[in-house]
Amino acid sequence: MDLNELKAIQLAELFSALSDASRVRLISLLIEDEMSVSKLAARLKMTESAVSHQLRGLRQLHLVRARRSGRQVFYSIDDDHVSRLFTLGLDHVRHG
């Protein structure tokens, strides 16, 4: 299974999305339910700016999706694989 460079880069990008503790917690919240930027910021104890920057990267990878309602923007998971990767990873951490 010697990957070509393109696929290796794409895979690395996907896993990079989960390679930071803040993003991991952010995604764990979104797996439960959609959530606005400000609520995410409050739950994660991060500034809204920092959260927004992270969400931007995740959006570009099509891992989360945005929905505006009034002045709030609600984010949710945009890809089933993410939740499955997350669960599998958690498995490893728990009894690995």
Partner DNA sequence: TTAATATATGATTACTTGTTCAACTATTCA
Partner DNA sequence: TGAATAGTTGAACAAGTAATCATATATTAA
Stretch that binds its own copies, among 3-11, 34-42, 47-55, 66-74 (CB under 8 A): 3-11
Rg (CA), the chain: 14
Report in angstroms how near the CB of residue 42 gets to its own copies at its nearest.
12
Q: Does 21 bind its own copies (CB under 8 A)?
A: yes
Phi, psi of 86 (to 5 degrees): -60, -50
Determine the Cα–Cα distance for residues 11 and 36; give it in Å rounded to an integer: 28
Binding to DNA in span 68-87, by CB under 7 A? 68, 70-73
Determine the Cα–Cα distance for residues 44 and 40; give it in Å rounded to an integer: 6
Report in angstroms how near the CB of residue 60 gets to DNA at its nearest.
9
Tell me the residue length of the chain: 96
Q: Does 88 bind its own copies (CB under 8 A)?
A: yes
